[in-house]
Amino acid sequence: MSDFKPPVDDMAFILEHVVGYRDIAALPGFEHADLDTVVDLLEQSADFMSKVVAPTNRIGDTQGAQRQADGTVTVPDAFRKAYSSYVDAGWGSIPFPEEFGGGGFPSVVGLAIQEMLQSSNMAFALCPLLTQGAIDALLHYGSDEQKALYLPRMISGEWSGTMNLTEPQAGSDVGALTTKAVPNGDGTYAITGQKIYITWGEHDMTEQIVHLVLARTPGAPEGTRGISCFIVPKFHLDAEGNPAEHNAVTCLSIEHKLGIHGSPTCVLSYEGATGYLIGEENLGMRIMFVMMNVARLSVGMQGVALSERAYQQSLNYSRERRQGLAIGAEGKDSEIIEFPDVRRMLMTQKASIAAIRRLMLLNATYMDTASHHPDAATRTRAGEIAGLLTPICKSFGTDLGNELTSLAVQIHGGMGFVEETGVAQHYRDVRIAAIYEGTNGIQAADLVGRKLPVRDGASALEFIATMRETLGDLVAAGDDFTAIGAELSTQLDSLEKATVWMLRTGVADPNGVLSGSSPYLRMWGLCLGGWLLARSALAAANTDNADLAQEQLVMARFFAAQLLPAATGLAGAATAGSRDLFALDADALSGLVRR
Ligand SMILES: Cc1cc2nc3c(=O)[nH]c(=O)nc-3n(C[C@H](O)[C@H](O)[C@H](O)COP(=O)(O)OP(=O)(O)OC[C@H]3O[C@@H](n4cnc5c(N)ncnc54)[C@H](O)[C@@H]3O)c2cc1C
Looking at the predicted structure, is the pLDDT value of residue 369 above 60?
Answer: yes
The number of C-alpha atoms within 13 Å of 531 and in the hemisphere containing its C-beta is 25
Ligand 1 centroid vs 246 CA: distance in angstroms?
30
Q: Using one digit for the tens of pLDDT, what is the confidence trace for 81-138?
A: 999 999 999 999 999 999 999 999 999 999 999 999 999 999 999 999 999 999 999 9
DSSP SS3 for 194: strand
- Long-range contacts at 66-69 (CB < 8 A, ≥ 24 apart): 66/254, 67/202, 67/251, 67/253, 67/254, 67/264
Residue partners of 71: CB distance under 8 A and separation at least 6:
202, 250, 251, 252
The pLDDT confidence band at residue 292, using thresholds 50, 70 and 90, is confident
Q: Where does residue 323 fall: left (phi above 0), alpha (psi -120 to 50 degrees), or beta otherwise?
A: beta
Closest ligand 1 atom to 260 CA: 1
| Phi, psi (degrees; rounded to nearest 5) at 178 | -125, 0
Structural element, H or E, at residue 322? strand 322-323
Ligand 1 centroid vs 334 CA: distance in angstroms?
46
Helix, strand, coil % over all residues of the chain, rounded to 5: 65, 10, 25
Alpha carbons 298 and 334: distance in angstroms, whole number: 40
590 CB burial (10 A radius; 0-12, 13-18, 19+): exposed
The pLDDT confidence band at residue 591, using thresholds 50, 70 and 90, is confident
DSSP SS3 for 159: strand
Ligand 1 centroid vs 442 CA: distance in angstroms?
9
Cβ–Cβ < 8 Å for 181, 135: no
Residues linked to residue 215 through DSSP beta bridges, in sequence order: 228
410 CB burial (10 A radius; 0-12, 13-18, 19+): middle
| Nearest of 38, 4, 19, 16 to residue 357 by alpha carbon | 19
Whether residue 166 has its Cβ less than 6 Å from ligand 1? yes
Cβ–Cβ < 8 Å for 105, 94: yes
| Nearest of 51, 72, 44, 75 to residue 61 by alpha carbon | 75
DSSP SS3 for 277: strand
Whether residue 265 has its Cβ less than 6 Å from ligand 1? yes
| DSSP letter, residue 450 | I
**Torsion from C-alpha of 482, 488, 494, 499, nearest 10 degrees:** -140
Whether residue 422 has its Cβ less than 6 Å from ligand 1? no
Q: Using one digit for the tens of pLDDT, what is the confidence trace for 453-483?
A: 999 999 999 999 999 999 999 999 999 899 9
Residue nearest to atom 20 of ligand 1 (CA): 436
Share of the chain above pLDDT 90, in %: 96
pTM above 0.85, yes or no: yes
Whether residue 432 has its Cβ less than 6 Å from ligand 1? yes
582 CB burial (10 A radius; 0-12, 13-18, 19+): exposed
Ligand 1 centroid vs 401 CA: distance in angstroms?
18
Residue nearest to atom 11 of ligand 1 (CA): 165
112 CA to centre of own chain: 11
| DSSP letter, residue 236 | E
Whether residue 445 has its Cβ less than 6 Å from ligand 1? yes
Q: Ligand 1, from 132, 166, 232: best to mutate by most atoms within 8 Å of Cβ?
A: 166
Ligand 1 centroid vs 257 CA: distance in angstroms?
15
| Nearest of 489, 483, 457, 490 to residue 470 by alpha carbon | 489
Identify the pLDDT of residue 3.
Answer: 83
Whether residue 176 has its Cβ less than 6 Å from ligand 1? no
| Nearest of 53, 41, 201 to residue 131 by alpha carbon | 201
E strands present in 218-278: 228-233, 235-237, 243-246, 249-254, 265-277
Cβ–Cβ < 8 Å for 520, 440: no
Looking at the predicted structure, is the pLDDT value of residue 293 above 50?
Answer: yes
Whether residue 297 has its Cβ less than 6 Å from ligand 1? no
Ligand 1 centroid vs 439 CA: distance in angstroms?
6
Residues linked to residue 265 through DSSP beta bridges, in sequence order: 199
Q: What is the mean pLDDT of the chain?
A: 97
Identify the pLDDT of residue 1.
Answer: 42
* 437 part of the active site: yes
| Phi, psi (degrees; rounded to nearest 5) at 213 | -120, 130
The pLDDT confidence band at residue 294, using thresholds 50, 70 and 90, is confident
Task: Taking residues 5-19, report their average pLDDT.
Answer: 98
Ligand 1 centroid vs 457 CA: distance in angstroms?
28
Alpha carbons 25 and 297: distance in angstroms, whole number: 21
Q: Ligand 1, from 197, 232, 260: best to mutate by most atoms within 8 Å of Cβ?
A: 197
Residue nearest to atom 50 of ligand 1 (CA): 197
Looking at the predicted structure, is the pLDDT value of residue 2 above 50?
Answer: no
Q: Using one digit for the tens of pLDDT, what is the confidence trace for 480-508?
A: 899 999 999 999 999 999 999 999 998 89
Which residue among 115, 437, 487, 551 is the active-site one? 437
The number of C-alpha atoms within 13 Å of 402 and in the hemisphere containing its C-beta is 13
DSSP SS3 for 219: coil
